[in-house]
Structure 1
């Protein structure tokens, strides 16, 4: 990986990989994610891990929900990763592996596993990543890594995001176990949830606008048909 890449280099690479226009409501999301990933990946202390991969996949899929056409959504994701000189298939594969693991566990087991106090068969290599992070004072923390951890807890407990006190308590335990900055992680997750709500509202507003425009076009079409029918009837009567 070339750590001397500039933001401009990464953007140029992205638009070389994905050449179609991006829908306006999603353009800012893509740009911000592209730059965020760039700044993470060019840092000297950056090292990919599956939890970061899950965070990227989750953030992208959540923020891009409803994007059309679907094929472009896939192309944009691939371009985001390729622009960082990484493999999009690895991100998807690692994310799915962690999601599948989470669906097999209870909320308490998942939290204990993340906090390195519970071992699960065939997951030692994943815990090795977490253990390495907890012991690495130079670990390159990122919001996307935090989203990956949060996603695991969210999968095992769908009410997790709704109960702030419960959510905060669990995330504090994670921070303590992995030696992460508690205030930073909690703030990042709150902002993430707030942004999800904001983009959902924007998407809803866009859908309402499109629906209103569709109804207006249909109304005009019916009016034209009525005018045409009236004109034809008048012509027939005059004959």
Structure 2
């Protein structure tokens, strides 16, 4: 019987793959997402699916907006996926395919997929994915899966998520159709939206601080250049002194 990997094992592997330091503001985001992915990967009931993949990709992209250096983001995500025994390409390809599927589904088709026992016309592929989850009695629900579902709904029918009443009604339809814990999913998504808002506020403050610092440096440089220029006599002034 193989030994179950620990959180420490996964973190060690991650920092072996990604050796550059992580910006302190984002380190907690990275480690919390990594731990969440690890705990799911070692759960006996967990099964990877495209909605989960979309949730992982979306969470990473949304919470890592503004990360510097930008080039390090790919390395961080690749290392996270490798640390849990998968690849970034697998996650991204499944997420992209699911978003493309969302664009091809109308709001009516979307709702019918969660309500009907037979696939709606033109939505066979989506219905099969939903049906597989609904019929899995041991399906392991996760916050990342909920975020994937939420992102999918927003891509397919944005107005469903813009109005809180319509959004709650749609989420009720989803949780009923998938046999998921409605209250738990609602709380997870409320927290997700709240954390995104807080992160955006932090980034806005950081951007303002960077802008203020940049202006301060530019002002100091301009003043220093002005002093240097003032200390150098112009040719006309030098000639006048010599004539005298």
Q: Secondary structure at the match of 2:160?
A: coil
Report the alpha carbon displacement of residue 218 of structure 1 after superposing the two structures with TM.
Answer: 0.2
SS at the partner of 1:94?
Answer: helix
Report deviation, 1:178.
Answer: 0.7
The structure whose Rg is larger is 2
**Equivalent-residue separation in structure 1 for 2:234 and 2:86 (angstroms):** 70
Give the 5 Å matches for 1:13-24: 13-24=13-24
Name the residue aligned to 2:227.
227
Residues 105, 123 of structure 2: 8 Å contact kept? no
* 1:151 alignment partner in structure 2: 151
d(CA) in 1 for partners of 2:79, 2:120: 36
Q: 1 CA distance for matches of 2:6 and 2:124?
A: 36
Identify if the C-alpha distance between structure 1 residues 9 and 166 changes in structure 2 by more than 3 Å, giving closer, same or farther.
Answer: same
Partner of 1:212: 212
How far apart, CA to CA, are the structure 2 residues paired with 1:123 and 1:76? 36
**How far has the Cα of 1:72 moved from its partner?**
1.1
**In the TM superposition, what are the counterparts of 1:1-239 in structure 2 within 5 Å?**
4-116=4-116, 118-119=119-120, 123-124=124-125, 127-233=127-233
Find the aligned partners of 2:3 and 2:43 in 1 and give their Cα distance.
Answer: 7
Measured in 1, the distance between the counterparts of 2:97 and 2:160 equals: 21
Q: What is the CA distance between 1:39 and its match in structure 2?
A: 1.1
- Partner Cα distance (2:85, 2:114) in 1: 28
Give distance in 1, aligned partners of 2:202 and 2:3: 35
* Cα pair 1:111 1:153 within 8 Å, conserved: no
Unpaired runs of 5+ residues, structure 1, are: none
Are the aligned partners of 1:3 and 1:43 in contact in 2 as well (CA < 8 Å)? no
Residues 114 and 91 (structure 1 numbering): CA distance in 2 closer, same or farther, change over 3 Å? farther
Q: Secondary structure at the match of 2:51?
A: helix
Give how far 1:233 is off. 3.4
State whether residues 55 and 148 of structure 2, in contact with CA within 8 Å, keep that contact through their aligned partners in structure 1: yes
Deviation of 1:109 after TM superposition, in Å, equals: 1.7
CA gap 1:97/1:116 in 2 versus in 1, 3 angstroms: farther
Deviation at 1:14, TM superposition (A): 0.7
Give a deviation string over 1:72-113, Cα, whole Å, max 9, x none.
111111111111001221111111111001112222222322
| Most deviating of 22-31 and 155-164 | 155-164
Displacement, 1:70? Answer: 2.8
Deviation at 1:66, TM superposition (A): 2.1
**How many residues get paired?**
237
